[in-house]
Structure 1
Amino acid sequence: MTTFIFDVLKDLQNKHVNLSQLTFVLPSKRAGLFLKHQLKKVTNQTIFAPEIISIEEFVEALSQLKTVSNTELLFEFYNSYTELTKKENLDSFESFSKWAQILLQDFNEIDRYLIPQDKIFNYLSAIQDLKHWSLEKEKTEFVKNYLSFWNKLYDYYNHFTKALLNKNIGYQGLIYRQAVQNLKTYIDDNPKKQHVFLGFNALNTAEETIIQQLLENKLAQTYWDIDAVFINNPKHDAALFTRQHKTNWKHFKNNTFNWITTNYSKEKNISVFGIPKNIGQAKYIGSLLKSIEKQNKSLQNTAVVLGDENLLIPVLNSIPKNIEALNITMGFPLKSIPLSSLFEALFYIHKNTSVSFYYKDVINILSHQFIRPLFFIDHVDYASQIIETIDANNIVYLTTARLKQIANKSNDIIDLLFSNWNTSIDLALNNCSQLILSIKNYLDNDKDSNLLSLEYLFRFYALFNELIKLNTEYNHIKDVSTLYSIYKELLSSESLDFQGEPLQGLQIMGMLESRVLDFETVIISSVNEGVLPSGKSNNSFIPFDVKIENNLPTYKEKDAVYTYHFYRLLQRAKNIYILYNTEADILTGGEKSRFITQLELEGIHPINHQIISPQIPVITPTLNVIEKTPDLQLKLKELAKKGFSPSSLTNYIRNPIDFYYQKILKIKEHNDVEETVAANTLGTVVHNTLEDFYKPLIGTFLSVEGIKKLKKDIDKIVTHHFTDVYKEGDITKGKNLIIYEIAKRYVSNFLDLEIKELKAGNQIKILAIELENNVQVDIPELDFPVTLTGKVDRVDEYNGITRIIDYKTGRVELNKVEVVNWEDITTDYTKYSKSFQILTYAYMMQLSKDVKLPIEAGIISFKNLSAGFLKFAKKDKAGNYAKKDILITKETLENFSSELKQLILEICNINIPFTEKEIK
């Protein structure tokens, strides 16, 4: 396969042109590198290399102006804006930057296409005056300001461009306009300098003027790369611009138009694959490359062209490991670098002025991969210390002072992260720079392992230095929010360039990087409407009809540019793989590109069109089974000796695997910060409050007066226990205040219930509060001791009957403490867990001889307090409510203990594994 560049060089050689004396002008720098590489193929002797430059470099040299970044242009433009706008009508720099970006694009287009500025700006102003909505003779202040803005556009342009020219800098359009003005001088100064323009397609008016002037003065040659199939079809957009040049340029009336080729009609293998999602495309590109390499043994003449450049990282992760030679033309966006997430988090917490920081934001920053090591001082991990303190003390908002109090040896890094950002912008920027240097000092300890991270740091250090320079020079950034906007603007335009051998192996590039280059095998991704072509967009102050009237490009011309690049990739290629996303997407749609439909309708090449589905393995869900090894058996014996609690046994009934994790492996749930008081915290507060109230009353009969005295202390005791349990959590507002009031209401309602019982003539004597039980159970089948342990909330004597009471702050109904069949009590957690728990307490107290049978046991539910004491009951086999025994007798406990022992035997049986239950 011969390339376009090679054909151009061969043609020049055949014309006996001295290549060393030529200046080659190409659409991109990358194309120049390939041209230099091809030179050795057309010459068999040592020569001086010709001058090879991109069109931007050529025009910049012609204009004698230097290109500056878009961000610096914004700052410079704001200078002009402030000088020409009344102070009372002045937008902040942040607001200004949102509409100024669009206006700068319009300035750029107007200059590149050499439109008379006064004409178009006056025209725009007149249009706005005609269509404004105020019909009154006296215009409102708002309408006056609106029209004033449009009237000032020409003044803004003049002031801004003069300021730039005075500094010998400019944006692309201004550089092009200046280049055209300097063209005559350039031609006079270089009467014999020969230029070769090759591979161009869409040219703006300035470029057309420059090339045509050089052609008329016999100082240039042009080589176009267009196929006969496209140029001979007046409706084919791939040749839209080339047809215009061939028809309209005076030079081609008497000179040959080089070249119209016939490469596109040659035999090609074109495959189109519809693949769900972007990741699916990336993975399939990996599969294609593996297949191509297997067939051709080399990827030297293969290019992966990404229609959507966001696919770069997924594609890099999908490339087969055996591919060694790889060149990436596209830069890696700085916004995708891990370090960007750190500054995103920092700007997020400092954008709004606040004296305290939300704990999740603080933990997010402290846990960042670049920050965590900075808190490791003198072998102490202060980041962990802060995080653990936040969790342990339930801190939702932290001040800088509180952070320093927790980890005082890390004050310097805490200051950089959390202090002084809102004091001044200079200080905020200095904090960022110092933070980068602190990270660098740490990474320098092991440079070889941190080369990539150090490269990240360097790029961000350069970015913040640029911000410091701009703010020092212009002083337009007044707050952190504006600084963040400018930072984002700079970040979006910066990238980390990959380094590699540009002429070897597989090439990965964007669509624009493929200009002038030819490959035998081409893989093009994301060929969807809205991506290729990019579709309609109108970020401009210039209306569509005004653009047409002034020959400014619209979305049609932009689509034609994409069409040319797409078809040019196909011209000389033999194997073509086109991928598109089949799934609907909010922004890009799910529709395949019109380019694919056009290829199919042309009928020039057979198209192999397939829809590819990813291979999804069928994974049958299986329940977890843990066999009881000898080591596990030992742990079970230790647990049995230490004691099974009622809650751990009900946990086993619910799901044996949870019992294994919590009791055998000792895996505890992480205690997250409770922003809203959790149900278990509410329960603990209520339990502890009632314990404080009733413990002094053990051994005494309750009285109405005594309970009324307790009611006076509800506020104080509940607040005390909230402080003790909820730590530094705030209960003074929001949901937490409501839950705090609910806790007080629960206690108050319970005491009211006691008063009601006492007034009804019932006698209540407190026997025990929070009674600890620890008893041994005789199970002859086991050769090791088994203990039951647990704490009973309350034991009292009610009219001579001993009651065992368990408090529940949740809602419990009476049917949850009743049993029909004893064998169900250790199998059905949902129905019988409450019954199992209170019977276990009763059984333990009988074994420890703390009670005399018969007794009652039950639950007091604070959400169902009107039901009173919910007593355990044994119903007959038919579940008859009329025939139930509410007294717990020796027979009751014998029946229960039989089931309890069977449960413990199952837990300790080495032949019965811990088997996960399917929880519905």
Structure 2
Amino acid sequence: MTTFIFDVLKDLQNKNESLSELTFILPSKRAGLFLKHQLSKVVKQTIFSPNIISIEEFVEDLSLLKSISNTELLFEFYNVYITLTKSQEADSFESFSKWAQILLQDFNEIDRYLIPQKNIFDYLSAIQDLNHWSLEDNKTDFVKNYLSFWKKLHNYYTLFTKQLITKKIGYQGLIYREAAKNLKSYIKDNPEKQHVFLGFNALNTSEITIIKELLKNGLAKTYWDIDSVFINNQKHDAALFTRQHRNNWAFFKNNPFNWVTTNYSKEKNVSVFGIPKNIGQAKYIGTLLNDLQKKNSSLQNTAVVLGDENLLIPVLNSLPPIVEALNITMGFPLKSIPIASLFEALFHLHKTPSNTFYYKDVINIISHQFIRPLFYNKEIDFATKITETIDTNNLVYLTTERLKDLASNSHNIIDLLFSNWDKSVDTALKNCSQLILHIKTFLEDKKDSNLLSLEYLFRFNELFNELTRLNTTYQHIKDISALYSVYKELLSSETLDFQGEPLQGLQIMGMLESRVLDFETVIISSVNEGILPSGKTNNSFIPFDVKIENNLPTYKEKDAVYTYHFYRLLQRAKNVYILYNTEADVLTGGERSRFITQLELEGIHHMNHQIIAPQVPIIETSLNVVDKTTSVLNELKRVAQKGFSPSSLTNYIRNPIDFYYQKVLKIKEHDNVEETVAANTLGTVVHNTLEDFYKPLVGAFITVEIIQKLKASIIKTVTHHFTDVYKEGDITKGKNLIIFEIAKRYVSNFLDLEIEGLKAGNQIKIIAIEADNNVVIDIPELDFPVTITGKVDRVDECNGVTRIIDYKTGRVEQNNVEIVDWETITTDYSKYSKSFQVLTYAYMMQLSNNMKLPVEAGIISFKNLNKGFLKFSKKDKAGAYAKKEALITQETLNNFSKELKQLILEICDPNIPFTEKEL
């Protein structure tokens, strides 16, 4: 295939133009690289290379101004703003930057299109004066300030541009305006210089003025790249601008219009694929490239054009291994680099000055991939030590001093990370820069130094150097919040550029990078409404009707620009693959682009349209099954000899695989920091408080007077146990204070219940508190001893009947401690686990103490205290009118022991694996 650039060079050669003496002006620098490459195919002898520049470089030369970044423009504009605004009315730099960005875009458009500045600013001010909502003669200060802002726009613009020109710098629009102003002197100084403009489409008024003047003076040639299908259709937006140029420029009334081609109508293979989600598109691009490589053995003339540039990383990760040569024209956004998350975390930590740091923020920073290695010292991982100390001591907030105590050999890095920035921008920038150097030194000392990581650091070092320069030069950044805003602005515009051979292999680019370039095979992604084209976005202070009146571009012109780029990619291509997202999305709505519908309606090309569904393997979920090997059985013997507790046995009933993890593999749950007191912590505090109260009363009858005295110690004892269990967690505010009060109330209510019972005539004698039981039971089928172990919260004697009591801080109802059939007690955890526990305690007590039967066993629920002692009961049938037997007799324990032994036999049976239950 021949390309547009090749055709232009061939035409110039046929016209006997001296290519070396021409100045080629193109829409982008990248197009210049391809033009230089095509020269070797046209010219057969050695020549000097012509001057090849982009339109931005050309107008910079004309204007005598140098372009500066948007961020620096903001600082320059703020200088003007505070000069023309009273100090008490001026916004902070952070607030200013939010609206100034939009105003700078408007300045840019007004200048690029050579609009008389005073006229449009006065017009805008008059509109706001008419539209303001205050109908009162005496306007409020807010309304006055609002209208004053609009009246100052022209003053802002005038002083701003004057200062920029004085400094020989400018934004794009000002550069274009100055270039158009300097055009006559440029022509006078270069009367013989020939310019070739090629591949242009949408031109602003400044560009039109420059090109028309050069054409008029015989100093330029223009080559347009448009197809007859588009230009002859008055409604086709791909030729919207080119039609205007051909019809409105006087030059083309007497001179040929180069060129209108007929490439688009040639036969093409056009395939359209609807694919769910962006990742689906990225994966399918990899599949297409793999198929193309196998067919053609080369991807030399293939381009992947990303409608949504956020797809770059997913596409790179989806490329097949057979892709050897690759060139990426888009930079990798700095905000996507791993080290960006580190500085994001640091800004988050220091935006609000504080002497203490939230534990999650601390762990997030010290666990970062660039920071954690810095905490290794002589094989001690201080990052792990800090994390474990936080978990163990329940530290929700930490100070720098505490961190230094925990990581004694890492004081320097802790100072850089956690020393308070104290609202000082200089301190923040200094710490960030030193941190980068610290990481750099560490990486360079490693033998397997990661060069890519060093490249990341270099780019961020440049970024912070730029922040330091801007802060030193302008001194507008007054606080960390403003610094963070400027940092984010710089971060969003900076990229890490890829290195590659620009003329070889597969090309991956954005839509704008494709200008003037032609490829035989084109894959275009994200062809959805809202992306291609971008739709009705109007980020401007200038109303739509004012833009129309002043010939400023609106969303219609923006759409036409992307229409041209899209169709131009198709003009000379032979194989076209168009991908769009079929899934409804907040921004794109899942609607395919109008470009696809337009292609179908044209009927010029046969289109293969498919909806592609990803291959999702059917993964059958299977429950975990662990066979009881010899080593497992040996471990079970050790567990049996040490003792099965009632809770471990009910854990087996609930899910055998959990029993296996906890008792056989000894896997413990990780103790996370309790920001809010957990239910089990509350339970422990209440249990321990009651143990302290009742332990001295063992063997004695309790009285109302004794219990009344205990009530006076509630606050002291509960506080002590919270300190002991909750460690350094704060119980003085928030939800924790409420839970602390609940713990006090639970204990107080329990003691009140005790007093109420005593006043009603109950005689209560404390027999045991937190009684340890450790009994061996005889199971003939097993050739090793089996022990049952556990602590009983309380054993007392109430009116001559022994009671075995288990405390529960959660809610328990009477039906939770009742059974009908003995066989179900070891099968249904949710219904019978409480009954199983209290009966196990009764069984152990009977075996260890030869306790006199019958007894009662049950639960006191602190969330259901008004129901009192909830006794275990055996019912003769299900239902409300069933007969209940609450006394535990020898027959009761015999029936229970039979089921208990059966459960233990199942646990120890080598032929019954640990099988996970569906919960």
Task: Please give the TM-score of this superposition, normalised by the length of structure 2.
Answer: 0.98
Cα distance in structure 2, aligned partners of 1:132 and 1:882: 79
Cα distance in structure 2, aligned partners of 1:543 and 1:447: 60
Pairing of 1:228-627 with structure 2 (within 5 A): 228-446=228-446, 448-627=448-627
Letter in 2 for 1:797: E
Q: Residues 275-322 of structure 1, C-alpha deviation per residue, up to 9 Å, x if partnerless?
A: 111111111111111111121111111111000001111111111112
1:734 aligns with 2:745: no
Q: Residues 175-199 of structure 1, C-alpha deviation per residue, up to 9 Å, x if partnerless?
A: 1111112222222222222111111
Which residue does the alignment assign to 2:139? Answer: 139
Q: Secondary structure at the match of 1:792?
A: strand
Q: Residues 797-850 of structure 1, C-alpha deviation per residue, up to 9 Å, x if partnerless?
A: 222222211111111111211221111111111111111111111111222235
Counterpart contact for 2:635–2:664, Cα < 8 Å: yes
Cα distance in structure 2, aligned partners of 1:832 and 1:542: 73
Cα distance in structure 2, aligned partners of 1:678 and 1:848: 34
Cα distance in structure 2, aligned partners of 1:571 and 1:423: 57
Cα distance in structure 2, aligned partners of 1:437 and 1:472: 21
Which residue does the alignment assign to 2:202? Answer: 202
Shift of 1:402: 2.8
Cα distance in structure 2, aligned partners of 1:155 and 1:309: 38
Q: Secondary structure at the match of 2:410?
A: helix
Pairing of 1:770-849 with structure 2 (within 5 A): 770-849=770-849
Letter in 2 for 1:495: T
Pairing of 1:637-716 with structure 2 (within 5 A): 637-716=637-716
Cα distance in structure 2, aligned partners of 1:675 and 1:374: 28
Cα distance in structure 1, aligned partners of 2:299 and 2:891: 84
Two-structure CA RMSD over aligned residues (Å): 1.4
Which residue does the alignment assign to 2:720? Answer: 720
Which residue does the alignment assign to 1:166? Answer: 166
Counterpart contact for 1:730–1:736, Cα < 8 Å: yes
Counterpart contact for 1:396–1:675, Cα < 8 Å: yes
1:84 aligns with 2:84: yes
Cα distance in structure 2, aligned partners of 1:392 and 1:14: 83
Q: Secondary structure at the match of 2:195?
A: strand
Shift of 1:855: 1.8
Distance of aligned partners of 1:761 and 1:130 in 2 relative to their CA distance in 1, 3 Å threshold: closer
Letter in 2 for 1:779: I
Which residue does the alignment assign to 1:189? Answer: 189
Letter in 1 for 2:200: F
Cα distance in structure 1, aligned partners of 2:335 and 2:593: 28
Cα distance in structure 2, aligned partners of 1:136 and 1:866: 67
Shift of 1:271: 0.9
Cα distance in structure 1, aligned partners of 2:214 and 2:627: 86
Q: Secondary structure at the match of 1:24?
A: strand
Cα distance in structure 1, aligned partners of 2:605 and 2:873: 84
Letter in 2 for 1:129: D
Counterpart contact for 1:108–1:174, Cα < 8 Å: yes
Shift of 1:719: 0.7
Shift of 1:882: 5.4
Q: Secondary structure at the match of 1:152?
A: helix
Counterpart contact for 1:422–1:479, Cα < 8 Å: no
Letter in 2 for 1:43: V
Shift of 1:881: 5.4
Pairing of 1:39-118 with structure 2 (within 5 A): 39-118=39-118
Which residue does the alignment assign to 2:867? Answer: 867
Counterpart contact for 2:293–2:322, Cα < 8 Å: no
Cα distance in structure 2, aligned partners of 1:396 and 1:512: 50
Which residue does the alignment assign to 1:122? Answer: 122
Cα distance in structure 2, aligned partners of 1:709 and 1:132: 73
Shift of 1:467: 0.5
Cα distance in structure 2, aligned partners of 1:616 and 1:507: 30
Q: Secondary structure at the match of 1:781?
A: coil
Structure 1 unaligned regions, length at least 5: none
Counterpart contact for 1:523–1:578, Cα < 8 Å: yes
Which residue does the alignment assign to 1:18? Answer: 18
Which residue does the alignment assign to 1:908? Answer: 908
Cα distance in structure 2, aligned partners of 1:108 and 1:816: 75
> Which has the higher mean CA deviation after the structures are superposed, 587-596 or 75-84?
587-596
Distance of aligned partners of 1:917 and 1:103 in 2 relative to their CA distance in 1, 3 Å threshold: same
Shift of 1:469: 0.3
Distance of aligned partners of 1:403 and 1:791 in 2 relative to their CA distance in 1, 3 Å threshold: same
Letter in 1 for 2:294: K
Cα distance in structure 1, aligned partners of 2:856 and 2:134: 85
How many residues are paired up? 919
Cα distance in structure 2, aligned partners of 1:146 and 1:767: 82
Distance of aligned partners of 1:638 and 1:518 in 2 relative to their CA distance in 1, 3 Å threshold: same
Cα distance in structure 2, aligned partners of 1:426 and 1:874: 76
Percent identical among aligned pairs is: 79
Counterpart contact for 2:332–2:497, Cα < 8 Å: yes
Cα distance in structure 1, aligned partners of 2:447 and 2:534: 43
Counterpart contact for 1:334–1:340, Cα < 8 Å: yes
Distance of aligned partners of 1:398 and 1:857 in 2 relative to their CA distance in 1, 3 Å threshold: same
Q: Residues 403-446 of structure 1, C-alpha deviation per residue, up to 9 Å, x if partnerless?
A: 23333432222221222312411111111111111111111123
Q: Secondary structure at the match of 1:848?
A: helix
Cα distance in structure 1, aligned partners of 2:448 and 2:157: 51
Counterpart contact for 1:301–1:506, Cα < 8 Å: yes
Counterpart contact for 2:353–2:423, Cα < 8 Å: no
Cα distance in structure 2, aligned partners of 1:423 and 1:60: 40
> Which has the higher mean CA deviation after the structures are superposed, 876-885 or 343-352?
876-885
Q: Residues 704-736 of structure 1, C-alpha deviation per residue, up to 9 Å, x if partnerless?
A: 111111111001000110111111112122221
Which residue does the alignment assign to 2:765? Answer: 765
Structure 2 unaligned regions, length at least 5: none
Cα distance in structure 2, aligned partners of 1:877 and 1:140: 81
Q: Secondary structure at the match of 2:784?
A: coil
Q: Residues 863-912 of structure 1, C-alpha deviation per residue, up to 9 Å, x if partnerless?
A: 11122111112222566855332222222111111111111111111111
Cα distance in structure 1, aligned partners of 2:554 and 2:833: 72
Q: Residues 128-172 of structure 1, C-alpha deviation per residue, up to 9 Å, x if partnerless?
A: 222223333333322221221111111111111111111111111
Distance of aligned partners of 1:110 and 1:447 in 2 relative to their CA distance in 1, 3 Å threshold: farther
Counterpart contact for 1:875–1:881, Cα < 8 Å: no
Cα distance in structure 2, aligned partners of 1:130 and 1:796: 87
Shift of 1:355: 2.9
Letter in 2 for 1:750: F
Counterpart contact for 1:28–1:515, Cα < 8 Å: yes
Shift of 1:748: 1.0
Counterpart contact for 1:626–1:915, Cα < 8 Å: yes
Cα distance in structure 2, aligned partners of 1:629 and 1:49: 80
Q: Secondary structure at the match of 1:795?
A: strand
